[in-house]
Chain A
Amino acid sequence: MFDSAILVPSVLNGITTGALYALVALGLTLIYGVLHIINFAHGALLMVALYMVYFLWKLAGLDPYWSLLIVPPAMFVIGYALQRLVITRASHGRDENILLVTLGLAILIENVALYLFSSDTQVVDTPYGFDVVEMFGAFVPYPKVVAFFGALATAAALWAFIRLTDLGRAIRAVAREKKGARLVGIEVGHVYAMSFGIGVGVLGIAACLLMPSYYVTPQVGHGFVLIAFTIVVLGGMGSFTGALIGGLVIGVVEAVGGLWLGESLGQIGIFAIFILILLFRPQGIMGHQA
């Protein structure tokens, strides 16, 4: 149907974008898997991280990749504090209340950003911003290649952390059986806050990897949050591998769908996937039967 000269770059573009989607979704799925919270503020928090990267570059001349040392830890602290101070107090025994409070946070954060920074689009200028790498006969922007491998490395590191460390084991225990975990002496409140912190911290990494090839506005999170939800439900709520594969799939669907139907209708494909999966297979493609 399409010439490979058009298709290959667009698939490659989809895969590299998809890896970043996957990274955003990884944080979301970790939070969901442990706390059973759908974090509506995820997109808004990504926007905060992007602004951090932007201002570190703008005001201190820091390269976005060097921001990896600052922004992810800062985001972790923000996430940890949000969970401890706000989200944990919101439930009153109803899941919807948590959803509402994260929605409220999303609105608040986004509009504070709008108030402070106005709706102008901001980008960073880097010496490598327009470099390209040749892959499979197509040219891919250098920052996207870095982002792709950075996302994979982050996912691998996160996986190793969850599998191999004590805290990782505690997180898995809480995800599986809260009461049991409490009985064997795991401090569930701490694990909750750590998981939320890590999930939000991952957004910091995503922001550093994303910024050289992207932009930031107060509304930038919108585009990501529903896509990340789609990936998470596609991969199965709480599934790591699912999020990774789901991210790549969605990236490609969006890129190729965009070729076919034009940019904005291409997004319909994503929402169609989202709705269909929620209706017919809410446990996700990779998930287990509830």
Chain B
Amino acid sequence: MTKLLALLAIFAALFCAPLVIGSEFWLNTVLLALYAALLGQAWNILGGYGGQFSFGHALFFGVGAYSVAVLQVELGLSAWLGLVVGGALAAVVAVIVGFLTARYGLRGSYFALVTLAFAEVFRILSNSVSWTGAGEGILIPLDQRLAALQFPDTASAYWALWAITLACFLAVWRLERSRFGARLMAVRDNEDAAAAIGVDAMQVKLGAMALSGLFMGLAGVFYAQKFLYLDPAIAFGPEKSVEALLVPIVGGIGTLFGPLLGAFALHGVAEIARETMGDAPGLNMIVYGTILVCMVLFLPRGLAGLGKHVRRAFRA
């Protein structure tokens, strides 16, 4: 219960950010951090609680983003419908990938590689067919009304993102104390032992894929509606996949608050790096790469793990 209260308190504070922060630049920074927390938590459902490390989570992000864009631009349908379709399609694609990998027992490095390959296939496809705008990308026409699910200012975009992210974190909070969550973690820790006491590993893995894909897809929808432009590299490129896995690895995988912690820590460091070294190409990713290597080497359980360490040391 204290965990839920802490979560709600943090999100209440986050809700107030646009009211407190005067500078457009800083609000945008907070927005990007919150957005990273959403990507990270979506990945964390599968990677942290399910133990399946995806290297291609951009796949679901891209499916969500392109769904909402193509539905509007090519079919002239409402963006709100795109929101539903984008989330649902991303979940469906995730379930299909999950079924194939689980059916053939791919785990560990193999799972990572296959997810990466699927993302690449979609990137090349979206680069090749005309209705995604191919390599030139797709532009969503500006129409800043609520009916078109577009945002007249940063604050309204922020609140929309806030709502999706809150839903994602609440889902994970719920997962931690549900039968589904218990089974998911049991399969993560020992699939055979879980099966022996009646856990259907396939069902549980597909559930995690669907949930993870859904929120990743919603993140994609948000991105499309905020920036109104997509191309294959943005939607399916490896950078999204890396960001999604890096955030919980920094914060602590398999923990509720890890992705939030990781997202703000990462963006904080990236911001400092930009202040001190200027806005050079690749700088962000140099920081991310360095952090990833250092985390794996020195803090494999993330910042949350560090917290536990410190607490244990104080108690001793």
Direct contact of A and B (CB under 8 A): yes
Please report A residues at the B interface, Cβ cutoff 8 Å. Answer: 38, 86, 89-90, 92, 94-97, 99-101, 103-115, 118-119, 218, 226, 229, 233, 262, 264-265, 267-268, 271-272, 274-275, 278-280, 282
Across the interface, which residues of B come within 8 angstroms of A95, CB to CB? 108-109
Q: Which of A96, A267, A279 contacts B124 (CB 8 A)?
A: A267
Q: Which of B109, B124, B281 contacts A268 (CB 8 A)?
A: B124
Nearest first, the 8 A-B pairs at minimum CB distance are A108-B289, A104-B292, A114-B282, A107-B289, A111-B282, A104-B293, A111-B285, A111-B286
A275 pairs with B282, CB closer than 8 A: no
In the assembled complex, 24 residue pairs joining A and B whose CB atoms fall closer than 8 Å, in A order, are: A38-B113, A86-B293, A96-B108, A97-B296, A99-B109, A100-B245, A101-B296, A104-B290, A104-B296, A105-B293, A107-B289, A110-B285, A110-B289, A111-B282, A111-B286, A114-B282, A115-B282, A115-B283, A115-B286, A229-B113, A265-B124, A268-B128, A274-B117, A282-B104
A-B contact count (CB 8 A): 125
Please report B residues at the A interface, Cβ cutoff 8 Å. Answer: 53, 55, 100-101, 103-104, 106, 108-110, 112-114, 116-118, 120-121, 124-125, 127-128, 242, 245, 249, 280-286, 288-293, 296-297, 300
Would you give the shortest CB distance from B233 to chain A, in whole angstroms? Answer: 11
A107 pairs with B242, CB closer than 8 A: yes
User: Given the complex of chains A and B, what is the CA–CA distance between A272 and B117 in angstroms?
Assistant: 8
A280 pairs with B104, CB closer than 8 A: yes
The answer to whether A265 and B128 touch (CB under 8 A), given A101-B293, A114-B281, is yes
Besides A115-B280, A115-B281, 18 more A-B contacts (Cβ < 8 Å) are A38-B109, A38-B113, A90-B293, A90-B296, A99-B53, A100-B53, A106-B289, A107-B289, A108-B292, A111-B282, A111-B289, A115-B282, A115-B283, A274-B113, A275-B118, A278-B110, A279-B104, A280-B104
B242 pairs with A279, CB closer than 8 A: no
The answer to whether A282 and B117 touch (CB under 8 A), given A90-B296, A107-B292, A108-B286, is no
Q: Which of A92, A112, A282 contacts B300 (CB 8 A)?
A: A92
Across the interface, which residues of B come within 8 angstroms of A233, CB to CB? 113
A279 pairs with B290, CB closer than 8 A: no
User: Given the complex of chains A and B, what is the CA–CA distance between A116 and B114 in angstroms?
Assistant: 32
Q: Which of A92, A271, A282 contacts B120 (CB 8 A)?
A: A271
User: Given the complex of chains A and B, what is the CA–CA distance between A271 and B100 in angstroms?
Assistant: 15
Across the interface, which residues of B come within 8 angstroms of A104, CB to CB? 289-293, 296
The answer to whether A90 and B297 touch (CB under 8 A), given A103-B242, A115-B282, A267-B124, is yes
Nearest residue, chain B, Cβ from A266 = B124
Nearest residue, chain A, Cβ from B120 = A271
Across the interface, which residues of A come within 8 angstroms of B55, CB to CB? 99, 103
User: Given the complex of chains A and B, what is the CA–CA distance between A262 and B283 in angstroms?
Assistant: 34
User: Given the complex of chains A and B, what is the CA–CA distance between A274 and B106 in angstroms?
Assistant: 13
B282 pairs with A97, CB closer than 8 A: no
Would you give the shortest CB distance from B107 to chain A, in whole angstroms? Answer: 9
User: Given the complex of chains A and B, what is the CA–CA distance between A226 and B283 in angstroms?
Assistant: 24
A278 pairs with B127, CB closer than 8 A: no
Would you give the shortest CB distance from B129 to chain A, in whole angstroms? Answer: 9
